[in-house]
Amino acid sequence: MDGIIVIDKPAGFTSHDVVAKLRGILHQKKIGHTGTLDPDATGVLPVLLGRATKLSDLLTAHEKVYEAVMLLGVTTDTQDMSGSVTARRDVDVSEDDVLSACAHFTGDIEQIPPMYSAIKVEGRKLYELARKGLTVERSARTVKIEEINVSRMELPRVHMRVRCSKGTYIRTLCHDIGEYLGCGAAMESLRRTASGDLTEEVAVTLELVQEAAERAAQSGISVEKILGAGLITPERALAGLPRFTVGRGYDKALYNGNALMTEWGSGECGPGQVAVFDADGRVVGVYERRGGKLCPVIMLLPRTE
């Protein structure tokens, strides 16, 4: 199978667990996910299959949208409520104070990644060191918080929608807002509702994929057909990019991954990236214009029978 399945990740599963489960259900080795979700988090987890795995970096770079509940007055060693409580403080802040603090953390901000994260330092994942009681120095990283929309406040709980760049830790955002307010805070719950154009509206459960695989085995109909719109093809995944179609007669250069002259085809080929298709309408890759040529960035050579 080639494409993307947007899984509605259940709580209690790591992103790796989801991939392992799907590998067993679909009997497919070439599979991976974009953008790790914490085990207790739920929501949008794009899983890439077959040649769509080459789109990982492209899809991971997209902005994310989360719905989170921040609990004021408590801090933990994991910055969420799965960890051990390290401090409790009185919550002597107003709703206006909270809104002001959220506004303060909008835009480009610096975040220090939490110890309980999958980031590697000298080849070791931070959470592996944290589980041994070790703390190492981490460099701050610049992330962008496009929007923090507080939907409801029932202090000490704050319900908010966060739209942000890749690499943002919502746990750390909650922790930092709490420190700014002087009462501390931890993330109580988290759900990712969108990763770029992939939203929870197109997400399916692991159970649904399991049922589709069982029906396919019994009926002889492919899993792709049973999943229908639940399987996003590479062509659909790249629908947001300008499209350039290469004319017949240039197949050798196209399939060898050579740079393409812009006069070899038709369509949009301005600055930035474009999705390049062959004359039969199959996506071949993502290209970038450099001078009068289109140069390959990601090759997605279609399967040949």
Contact 255, 30 (CB under 8 A): no
Start-to-end CA span in the chain (Å): 14
Q: DSSP for 141-166?
A: EEEEEEEEEEEEEETTEEEEEEEE-T
Q: Nearest CA to 41 among 73, 85, 80, 84? A: 80
Contact 47, 204 (CB under 8 A): no
Q: How far is CA 262 from CA 257, 272, 279, in A?
A: 15, 14, 15
**Given 2, 8, 38, 80, which residue is catalytic?**
38
| Spatial distance between the Cα atoms of 120 and 126, rounded to a whole number of angstroms | 6
Characterize the bridge pairing of strands 273-277 and 243-246: parallel
| Spatial distance between the Cα atoms of 200 and 207, rounded to a whole number of angstroms | 16
Tally of CB atoms within 10 A around 81: 16
Structure tokens at 139: 């460099």
| Spatial distance between the Cα atoms of 164 and 64, rounded to a whole number of angstroms | 5
| Spatial distance between the Cα atoms of 35 and 134, rounded to a whole number of angstroms | 25
Tally of CB atoms within 10 A around 249: 10
Active site residue 280: no
User: What is the set of active-site residues?
Assistant: 38
